[in-house]
Structure 1
Amino acid sequence: MNQEFLNALNEIVETKGIDKEVLIDTIEQALLTAYKKNFGQARNVEVEFDRDNGDIKVYSTRTVVDESDYYDSFLEIELSEARKISPSYEIGDVIRNEVTPSNFGRIAAQTAKQVVVQRLREAEREIVYNEFMERESEIVDGEITRATPSVVYVDLGKIEGVMPRSEKIDNETYKEGQRIKVYVVEVKKGSKGPQIIVSRSNKGLVGRLFELEVPEIEQGIVQIKSIAREAGSRTKMAVKSLDDKIDPIGACVGPKGSRVKNIVDELGDEKIDIIKYSDDFAEYISASLSPSKVVKVEVNEEEKSALVVVPDYQLSLAIGKDGQNARLAAKLTGWKIDIKSESQYEEDLANGVYDKKEESELEFNDEFADFSDEDLFADDIEEKEETVEE
């Protein structure tokens, strides 16, 4: 070992943030193992690394004992013999003798370098792990390095992220070299280093994209209260403004729909319904079924269920294709929602199907009930659309 190695060691400590004493202790333990492996299984051997010049020395140690307790010549030395070396020795003292083999330098150098390389890898893995732990539930940019039907690998700079089939968008195409925004779902330690699980289908991706696009959300003026998503097809998002002067839906949509358009483009034309959150359950549930009009809402807070009545001609719109609109509304609000047409409801009512119970009933005018995105774009587009889409 030499000063050059020591200088390199110090540089690694400074640049990689590794604790120097921990590193040297590890080197000493590895050297001790190497010594025992090559020169015998001595139990009383210590290896010392000189912090100043990088020299490595091996010492045998023996404990000073009384003549009556003397048992093992390898581990112990009698007090009378110890005092021949130095009169100051007392019982319990440890005497060290250097026993560094002449050819130990080569073994020591090789062992020390292996330890440093290993610790360096571990330190770098720890740095990457800590960095991405802080970015869990955040969006990161990456480049696809390999795509298979079951998994997509994304280069995130210092490490490769993994996007399993369950985190992909079904109708999205992934190609090698493609730049992509992904959501960090989970960061965990593995035997070969950190494992970063990323997603394109997680609803958190939508929320983070809106944070990037909408300053009012980033500033905390507008809050995202809930998101329900069927990736690649449709998303519903409930928002609330803490400032009465700011329309939360308008802030998310942006001038001429520019903000939501950027997000729709990023998600491959996924439809996005933005609705206004309300602490009034009936009002919130009604808005969640947008773009359908709602005539009446009866809520059962105890069971967290709601009966929603819609015009006959709006029933299919309220339920949605394959039940998607109703399904997303239920996910968004966390309520079980039963949708009936007016005629169905009146018939059931006449037949005594519904018992009298606590309810919250709202009569909605057309402007509120038709809470679809044509109202958001009224100044910019003439034809009405049922959802925010580009």
Structure 2
Amino acid sequence: MSDALRQAALDYHSQPVPGKVRIALSKPAGTQYDLSLAYTPGVAEPVKEIVLDPRSAYRYTNKGNLVAVITNGTAVLGLGNVGALAGKPVMEGKAALFKRFADIDVFDIEIDCDNPQELVDTIVRIAPTFGGINLEDIKAPECFFVEAELKKRLSIPVFHDDQQGTAIVVSAALLNALELQGKKLSDMNIVCLGAGAAGIATMRLLVKLGAVKENIYLVDREGVVHAGRAGLNAQKQEFANMTSKRSLADAMHDANVFIGVSGPKLLAPELVKTMAKNPVIFALSNPVPEIMPEEAMNVRSDIILATGRSDYPNQVNNVLCFPYLFRGALDVRARTINEEMYLAAVYAIQALAKEPVPDEVLAAYGIERGISFGPAYLIPKPVDPRLKDVVSAAVARAAIDSGAAGL
């Protein structure tokens, strides 16, 4: 990051007031009468109603439109274990996106706790405040345990954006990329560089969508995850295939799809040359991808390519998913976010990319001429206002149809 951009980012977060979000009143509080309703004695009446029927909390409090964005700071962006306090700017950013794109209120909560069981217990104790829990930047493999335990113990939606949020957006973009390349997901040899939360969750969802697990090569710092490797955690073991491939170079030979959720500049252009005809490359490490688009296109002209950056075509960003997934879930008081809701979000995002792009989206990106579904436009832009209606409605319908809805 340039010095000018770094300073601009610091100024943005510090001026004119520190931080990115604040609490605003939703009811008048200017007169004695207002205060008698907002607090004592009037506030006792909704308390009595909630005692009689806990579901009435959704009527008399902000619970139904309030999400907790929670981290322990153990895997913040690409910065690693920076701690709970240093993770707060990211959680505030998440809160801002929830409000901006789906009009959902958020409390960002940074919990100083590295013990997964204690983290779960803490979240369970504060959960009555919220209509949903969004987990963020918790390192793998602990994040898998935390999410699974919370889903067992809570009757409100729990979502780990680093897992399912990434998986949903990647899946929608990949289905469209393969359609353009005239290929089927079930026929693809897929290399996933990165075996943490995002990589594991994305591969799981792709299998649900039709990918063949035996054709998936998961690669971590030690090379290909294979059946003969010792010391694999349970999540990696799911994708430990019987294969003679051991290195990233081995895995990339004749691969159809590369998905990078790892770190900067880890994919050499020479390896791109060895991929099968008409490959798909999603280099999603941020801010520096596994391979820069220019480097990949210099060695191959038949690639469809995506990154996580806004300054290149095909930005694969979780903001296409998480605000609207929660919007749909909250609107029907879903008790969980299930697989049917994930798939509904995938298909809704995938389909929206094929619709005409609104002028306001073009204006936001400084694009004069219209863009349309194709190699440089696989998924909608993050500022597309249709996402709120289309994705939220699809998720809400899936919650109802699957029996997850509380209304």
TM-score > 0.5, shorter chain as reference: no
Higher strand residue share: 1
- The bucket for the TM-score relative to the shorter chain is under 0.3
Q: Could you say which structure has the larger radius of gyration?
A: 1
* TM-score under structure 1 length normalisation: 0.21
- Higher relative contact order, structure no. (Cα contacts within 8 Å, ≥ 6 residues apart): 2
